[in-house]
Chains A and B, each alone.
Chain A
């Protein structure tokens, strides 16, 4: 069983489209995250949810909207996709305020053409 699973792994779409990335964790963790990794491999946090409540919302365009239906799921919806949104998006989860680190999903490579 995959601990943190993201779908899809690859996503190619045209500018202006709306897309979603789904994430599920089966570790029983209470906190989930979305990170963006750009072409230079820099990882930056976007959002964090703790028990379905939004606790971190970095400076991210409001075209990005996370949704957590329950503490095991955290989805990311992106409206009006732009070329600059092309990146790898990682979902992660943690327990105990991240004391044992994050467990990452395998990432979703989003390419906007």
Chain B
């Protein structure tokens, strides 16, 4: 079965600190893309960052960066200088086997940013 594992159901971080959310996946695709999505209380699913598996360089989008370890099938998200607006559920997503366009989502990590 295709799995995406997020082992941290909940995390808390103080404002301005750095936090890392972990994710491991299991795809049989050779060329694929990985994603982190944010779901704030508004319910909207927002794409945070995208990683191309054939690129060794880790993706970065402003305060968000990833640590992509292809051999270990690990794809963690680092949020630097955390802000109150980062409070949300964060979902890791990877393609399912045999269907590159079908994304499988992890169970999510609820991140709370505190003062």
Contacts and interface: CB of A to CB of B under 8 A. Distances in A.
B107 A31 contact: no
Contact of B33 (A31, A48, A55, A98): A98
A43 B93 CA distance: 10
Contact of A41 (B99, B101, B104, B108): B108
A44 B93 CA distance: 11
Contacts, number: 56
Interface stretch (A20-28, A66-74, A100-108): A100-108
Contacts of A40: 107
A94 B101 contact: yes
Nearest to B36: A101
Interface of B: 33, 35, 37, 39, 42-45, 47, 50, 89, 91, 93, 95, 99-105, 107-108
